[in-house]
Structure 1
Amino acid sequence: TSLNAYLAGQKTDRDHYTGLYPERDEFDTEVEFDDALYEHLSNPPYGITDNTTMQGGVNVNHNLTHFLSGSNQLTAGVEYLYDEVVDSIPQYNYEIDQQSKNFGAFLQSDWRINKDFTLLTGVRADKHNFLDNVILSPRASLLYKLKDYTQFRATWGTGFRAPQAFDSDLHIAFAGGGVSRISLDPDLEAERSNSFSGSINFDKPTEQYIFGLTLEGFYTQLKEAFYLHPMGADDRGELFEKRNGPTAVVKGLTLEARANYNRMAQIEAGFTLQSSKYNEAITHFDELPEGKREFMRSPNQYGYAVFTFTPNERFSASLSSIYTGKMTLAKFSPNEDWAPNAYKESSSFGELNLKLGYTMPVERVSSAVEIFGGIKNITNYFQSDSDNYKNRDSDYMYGPAQPRTIYVGIRLKSI
C-alpha cells in the first residue's frame, strides 16, 4: 500500500494595454480623427488579469496479489481544483469575473486477469459549483497480449468540460479592424464526451534491432459542444458568445512505425487521417449564415517523422519533420468594403528541423557540457497570405511558428 499527496498553485497578476491607436487615414475629416484620438488618450484601453489557480489531492494504491484468477491494483483518491479569474478592460465593457471550484473523487481497478488479459476500469465523480448535479465519468480498457510481440487494446471513456471561461476565452484577438471579445451564454451547459478507441501494437525485438507498428482507430462524440457564435460588432470590434452547439464527432485512424538498430540509429514516423465535424453547420460570420460543419483550424491529415543517430556517448544528431494537411479557417477582413469576411482553405505544409550535439564530460564535478546547434524550418516555409499591420486578423495564422532559424547553445548536465 502506498499513499501519495500533491499540492500546486499559480498566480498571475498582469496589467496590459490592448487596443488600436487611431490613425488619420481611417477618418474622413480632421475633426473626426481629433475626436477619436482625444477619446483614446482620455480613456485608453488598459486592462487587468488576476488569475489564481490551485490543485491538490490524495490517492491511495493497494495491491491485491491474489484477486480471483490474478492480481489487482486498486487506486482511490480525491482531488480539489480552484480557479479564480478576473479579466477586465473597462473601456471595452469587457469583464470576466468567475470563481470555479471542482471536487472530484475517483476509484480505479487495474486487474491483471492472467498473463494474456488485463482489464482497467474506473469511475470519477465530479461536483462543480457551476453545475447542479454530480457528473459521473466511467471508463474501461481491455488489453490482450497475443504471444510475445502483439497487443490488442480496446478503450471506452467519458468526460466533460464545465460551462466556464477557459484560457482560450481570455484571449483578446485583433480581427476585422478592431478587437474581438468573448462572453459566455448565461444558459451555457457542460460539454460531454463519449470516446472509443481500438489499437493493434506489434514490436519485434532481436539482438541488434527492434521494429514495431501501431494501428489505432478513434471515435469521440461531443454533446453540447462549445462554439463561438458571432454577435455582430460594436465600435470596438467583433463580439462573440460561447454557446452550446450541435453534437460533433471527431474520428480517425493513426498508423505509427518505429525501428532501432543497435541503439545507434532510430527512426519513428506516424500519420493520421482525421475528420472533425459538427452534425449541423456552425455560423462564424453574420453575413454567411450557412456556416460550416468542419472544425476550424483542424487538418484532416497530419504526420511526423524523426531520425536520430547516436554513434557514441558524445555525439548525437536528429532530423525531424512535421506534415500538416489542408484546413479550413475563418478569415475576418479589416475592411469588408473591399474584402468580405470569408472561409479560407490553407495549403498543406511541412517543416524540417536539424539538431546536432556534442557532449564533453567534466569528471571532476561529475557533470558534462553539451554544445548543440541546429536549424529550425530548414525549407523556410511560411504562411503566404498572412495579414499585416494593426488591422490584421491575429487569429488567421497557420504554418510553422518560426522562419528558418539557426541556433547554438551550451548546456551543463549531470552524468
Structure 2
Amino acid sequence: MNSRPVFSGLAGVYGLELIPTNMIQRVEVLRCGGSALFGGNAIAGTVNIITQDPVTNGFSVDMRNGAIGLNNEYNTSPANDFMISANGSMVTEDRRAGMYLYGLSRSRDSFDENGDGFTEMVDMKNLTFGLSGFLKPSTRTKLMLDLYRIEESRRGGNMLDYLPHEADIAEMVDHSILGANMSLDFFTNMEKLDKLMIYAAGQMVDRASYYGAQQDPDGYGATRDFTSSIGSQYNWNVSEVSSLILGVDNNNNQIEDTKLGSNGNANTLIVDQFVNTLGAFTQYDLKWDKTKISLGLRHDNYLIRDQQKDNYESQPDVTGSVLAPRATFLWDILPTIQYRISYAKGYRAPQIFDEDLHIEASASKRIIHTNTSNLTQETSHSISSSFNLINNIGGVMTEFLAEGFYTKLIDPFAYEYHSADSNYTFVQTRKNAEAGAFVAGVNLEFNAAFQNHVTISAGITFQKSEYEEPQLWGENETSASRAFMRSPSQYGYLNLNWQLSKKFTAALTSTYTGSMYVPHLGLAPITNEEAEFVQNGQWEQIEGSRQDEISAMANGDVIAGERLEKSEQFLIFGARLAYDFELSEETKLQVYGGIQNIFDQSQRYHDSGQYRDAGYIYGPCKPRTVTLGVKIGNLF
C-alpha cells in the first residue's frame, strides 16, 4: 500500500475485499519483477494500492444499494448490499498544504444460493475512515501522512442469529485494522531534481475469529498482527540520460495467534512468530539512443523466529541471505514498436502465510494449515519478453502487446494432507517440492481509443503451471497431480467505455476464466459392512453421526471420498449506465445503475448441508447483482 509492503498475511486472508473502493485513488500493476525497489518477493509483478490524495477543493457523497442473486436458478431470495461513502478534499491557495478525508459504511446480507440454509456469501459489515495529507514547509521539502482505520465483521455458515458455537457450521471474523504511512521528501538539487526519501509505515490488525462445526466451543481464536516498514532512498539524476537509486529498508512482521480455551481450560498459543528482513538495493537506469537499460540488485537478510511462550514449543531460528539481481532492456525498434526483455530472481521465506490463518470447517472435518519443520525458502528465476505496438490508424489510437513469460521455481511450496486425530481434524502441511515447478505462458493485450469517445481494452493469457513431479492434493496416496490447484490455463478481460454525450456514459465489462482443477473432499466412503447393515435395515448397528453421514451421501448432499474436479469455464458480463445532472457550476448529481454477472454464471454444483466441503468454492465472486445509486459533489 502506497509502495510500502505493509498489507500483511493476516490482512491478506480476505484480500483486497477488505479495502473500500473510495479509499483507492488508483491501482498500479507493475509487470514482471524487473525493479529491485519493491522487495525480493516481487517476481511476477507488483500490485500497488495508492490511496486518495488531495488535489483540489471538493466533496462527494455516494449512496448505492444492490440486490445479490436476483432471479437465480434456485429461486432463492436475493441478498441486500447497501453502501454509503463520503469524500472531501481541501488544498490551500498556494498548494503548499492539503488534506483528503474519506469514510464508508457498508452492510451486506448473507446469501444462500442453493437454499440449503448454509451461506455461499457471508454476512458482512464494514466501517472505514481515513485521511491523507501533505505539507510543503519549503520548496525543497514535502511531508506526507496517510492514516486509515477499517472495522469489518463477517459471519457465514448457518443459524446466523445464534452464537457461533451454537451453529452447525460457523465462520465468524471481526477485523480491526489501523494503518499509517509517513514520508519525507527532500530535494537536494532543485535543477536536477535529486531527492532523498525517508519513510515509515505500519499496520496493526486485531482479529477475533471462530471457525468450527457441530457446536464446537473450542473454535474461538484471537490474533494480533503488526507489520512495519522503514527505509530511506536517494534518487540521483547522474546526467540527462542516466539515474541511480540507492536505498535501504527494514520490514518487520510480528504475529500472535491464540486458540481461546473453553469450560475453564487455558488458552493455547498456536503461532508466535517474528519475521525481520533487512535489505539494501540499488538500481541504475540508462537511456541511450533508442534503448533503455535498467539494472537492479537487492540483498536481503531475513530472520524468522518462533518465540517460546507459555506451553508453546518454539522452533529454531530460520535465517537466510538472498542476492536478487533484476534487469530490464527496452528497445524502441521503430517509433511505433518497442521490445522489452526482463529477468528477475526472487524468493519466498518459509514463514506464516495468509492461508495458514484461515481454517476450513464442516461437520465432517476441520482443516488447519501449517508448515513442516524443515521448510526452506522458495527461489524463483523469471524471464519475460514482449513486443508493444502503438499506432494511429485513421484517427484511432491503438496499442497491442504480445508477451511471453517463464518462471522456474526451485524448492517451491507444495502440500501434504493427513489426518491429525480421531476428531476429524485434518492438517494441510506446507513442504518443499524438491523437483521444482514452472509457470509459463503468453499474454496478449489490445487497447483502442476512438474519436467518438469510445475506448476498448482487452486481454487474454494462456498459461501452464505445473510441478515437475506429482504432488498430493488429498489424503489418499493416489490423489496426486502435477497441476497447480485453482490455477486456470486461460483467463482474459474486455472493457468498453462509451461517452454517449457530455452527461451520459455507458460501460460494458467482461471477464473470462478458463477451467481449473479444484480438490473436492467428501465423507469416508460407505464400507461393505455398513452397506450390508443399510440393506438389511439394521441402522441401529451404525453409530449415530455416521448414520447422518451415510444419509447425506445417499441424498447427494456430499460426495464419498475425494475427487479432483475440473471446473467449468466462466464468461462474465457486466454493464453500467450513468447520467449527470448539473446542479451548479461546480456541483453535479449523478444517477447510475448496473448489473454484474448478467447471465448469472456460477459454480455448477455446491455441496449441501452441514457435511459440505467448506473449501469447495470456485467461480465468480458474485451471482447476478443489480445495483442502483446516486452520487452528488464534484469529486467523481
Both structures adopt the same fold (TM-score exceeding 0.5): yes
Distance in 2, matches of 1:55 and 1:357, equals 41
Name 1:100's counterpart in structure 2. Answer: 275
Name 2:614's counterpart in structure 1. Answer: 394
The one-letter amino acid paired with 2:389 is: F
Query: 2:604 aligned with 1:384, yes or no?
Result: yes
Question: Structure 1 pair 192/373, CA: closer, same or farther in 2 (3 Å)?
Answer: same
Structure 2, unaligned stretches of length 5 or more?
Answer: 1-193, 262-266, 305-317, 527-552, 554-559
Contact 1:176 1:333 in 2 (8 A): no
Distance in 1, matches of 2:255 and 2:608, equals 32
Name 1:316's counterpart in structure 2. Answer: 505
Question: Structure 1 pair 77/313, CA: closer, same or farther in 2 (3 Å)?
Answer: farther
Contact 1:176 1:335 in 2 (8 A): no
The one-letter amino acid paired with 1:354 is: A
Name 2:398's counterpart in structure 1. Answer: 211
Q: How does 1:96-245 map to 2 (within 5 A)?
A: 96-114=271-289, 116-130=290-304, 131-174=318-361, 177-205=364-392, 208-234=395-421, 235-245=423-433
Name 1:89's counterpart in structure 2. Answer: 259
Distance in 1, matches of 2:584 and 2:242, equals 45
Distance in 2, matches of 1:308 and 1:13, equals 40
Contact 1:370 1:413 in 2 (8 A): no
Name 2:212's counterpart in structure 1. Answer: 19
Query: 2:578 aligned with 1:357, yes or no?
Result: yes
Distance in 2, matches of 1:176 and 1:270, equals 42
Question: Structure 1 pair 199/387, CA: closer, same or farther in 2 (3 Å)?
Answer: same
SS in 2 for 1:169: helix
The one-letter amino acid paired with 2:519 is: A
Name 1:79's counterpart in structure 2. Answer: 249
Distance in 2, matches of 1:311 and 1:213, equals 25
Query: 2:530 aligned with 1:342, yes or no?
Result: no
Find 1:58's aligned residue among 232, 241, 246: 232
Question: Structure 1 pair 236/263, CA: closer, same or farther in 2 (3 Å)?
Answer: farther
Superposed CA RMSD in Å reads: 2.0
Name 2:200's counterpart in structure 1. Answer: 7
Distance in 2, matches of 1:165 and 1:14, equals 16
Contact 1:175 1:333 in 2 (8 A): no
Contact 1:375 1:404 in 2 (8 A): yes
Cα offset, 1:262, TM superposition:
1.4
Deviations 1:337-361 (A, max 9, x none): 3511111111111111111122334
Deviations 1:166-222 (A, max 9, x none): 112211112682221012111111111100000000010257320121100000011
Name 2:218's counterpart in structure 1. Answer: 44
Deviations 1:46-85 (A, max 9, x none): 111111111222211111225xxxx111111112111111
SS in 1 for 2:522: coil
The one-letter amino acid paired with 2:232 is: V
Contact 2:473 2:479 in 1 (8 A): no
Contact 1:174 1:392 in 2 (8 A): no
SS in 2 for 1:168: helix
Distance in 2, matches of 1:90 and 1:289, equals 37
The one-letter amino acid paired with 1:209 is: V
The one-letter amino acid paired with 2:572 is: E
Query: 2:623 aligned with 1:403, yes or no?
Result: yes
SS in 2 for 1:370: strand
Query: TM-score, length-normalised on structure 2?
Result: 0.59
Distance in 1, matches of 2:565 and 2:298, equals 41
Question: Structure 1 pair 166/205, CA: closer, same or farther in 2 (3 Å)?
Answer: same
The one-letter amino acid paired with 2:456 is: I
Q: How does 1:28-39 map to 2 (within 5 A)?
A: none
The one-letter amino acid paired with 2:433 is: G
The one-letter amino acid paired with 1:79 is: D
SS in 1 for 2:239: strand
Question: Structure 1 pair 144/406, CA: closer, same or farther in 2 (3 Å)?
Answer: same
Distance in 1, matches of 2:258 and 2:611, equals 22
Structure with more relative contact order (C-alpha pairs < 8 Å, separation 6 or more)? 2
Query: TM-score, length-normalised on structure 1?
Result: 0.89
SS in 2 for 1:386: coil
Cα offset, 1:89, TM superposition:
2.2
The one-letter amino acid paired with 1:11 is: M
Name 1:327's counterpart in structure 2. Answer: 516
Contact 1:216 1:253 in 2 (8 A): yes
Contact 2:362 2:610 in 1 (8 A): no
The one-letter amino acid paired with 1:248 is: A
Distance in 2, matches of 1:290 and 1:179, equals 19
Structure 1, unaligned stretches of length 5 or more?
Answer: 23-39
The one-letter amino acid paired with 1:96 is: V
Question: Structure 1 pair 228/355, CA: closer, same or farther in 2 (3 Å)?
Answer: same
Larger strand percent: 1
Deviations 1:275-332 (A, max 9, x none): 0000000012232435100000011111111111013342221101111111111111
Cα offset, 1:94, TM superposition:
7.3
**Deviates most, 88-97 or 369-378:** 88-97
Name 1:28's counterpart in structure 2. Answer: none
Name 2:484's counterpart in structure 1. Answer: 295
SS in 1 for 2:238: strand
Name 1:26's counterpart in structure 2. Answer: none
Question: Structure 1 pair 209/137, CA: closer, same or farther in 2 (3 Å)?
Answer: same
Deviations 1:212-255 (A, max 9, x none): 21100000011111122112242142211111113110000111
Question: Structure 1 pair 132/84, CA: closer, same or farther in 2 (3 Å)?
Answer: closer
The one-letter amino acid paired with 2:254 is: E
Name 1:278's counterpart in structure 2. Answer: 467
